[in-house]
Amino acid sequence: MQLNQVTLPTHDVDASVRFYVGLGLRLIVSSSPRYARFECEDGGSTFSVHQVSHPAPPSGVVVYFECEDLDARVKALEERGYAFTQGPQDQPWLWREARLVDPSGNVVCLYWAGENRRFPPWRVQA
């Protein structure tokens, strides 16, 4: 089994498209104003947004996008007007993370973890 895609609710598909394309995702399906689907730069996984009539209440869900050039990417995005709620910070779980919120209030984390993404020191051994 492999995770293919995650879909988030949005109250404005067009604003979400601008936001996620600006982050670096490639638009592959555009069915505005109801739906849009993106492909990640690396790895072949996809991500989508779908129209909802009312803003979804905060769910605690965080969508993570891995980027090796995290600090440079955050700086470039800030220069283009993206507002981060947390700049790049090293975390106790050995990931470096920066967070922002999409136009519909969904939390997005850009991060770099290297080998620790799948193989942290506390990984359960088979």
Residues of the domain holding 87: 5-117
So what's the pLDDT on residue 20? Answer: 97
Model confidence at 44: pLDDT above 90: no
Domain with residue 56: its CATH number is: 3.10.180.10
Q: Is residue 34 part of a domain?
A: yes
CB atoms within 10 A of CB 14: 13
The total of structural domains in the chain comes to 1
Whether 26 is in a domain gets the answer yes
Looking at residue 28, what is its pLDDT?
96
Please give the share of the chain, as a percent, with pLDDT higher than 90.
83
Query: Average pLDDT, stretch 39-50?
Result: 89
- Residue 122: predicted pLDDT: 94
pLDDT, tens digit (0-9, with 9 covering 90-100), for 6-17: 999 999 999 999
Q: 42, 22, 32: which is closest to 108 by C-alpha? A: 22
Confidence band of 43 (pLDDT split at 50, 70, 90): confident
Give the residue from 13, 15, 21, 17 showing the smallest Cα distance to 53: 13
- CA distance to 27, 69, 107, per residue, from 16 (Å): 11, 23, 13
Record the pTM. Answer: 0.92
Phi, psi angles (nearest 5°) of residue 114: 55, -140
Q: Which two tokens stand for residue 58?
A: 């905060």
- Residue 76: strand, helix, or coil: helix
Residue labelled with tokens 């080998």:
115
Residue 124 lies in a domain: no
Asked whether residue 74 is domain-assigned, the answer is yes
Q: Tell me the pLDDT tens digit for each residue of 52-108.
A: 988 777 788 999 999 999 999 999 999 999 999 999 999 999 999 999 999 999 999
Q: Is residue 48 part of a domain?
A: yes
| Residue 39 is assigned to a structural domain of this protein | yes
**Dihedral sign, Cα of residue 98, residue 86, residue 100, residue 63:** positive
pLDDT at residue 66, as a whole number: 95
Q: What are phi and psi of 99, to 5 degrees?
A: -125, 150
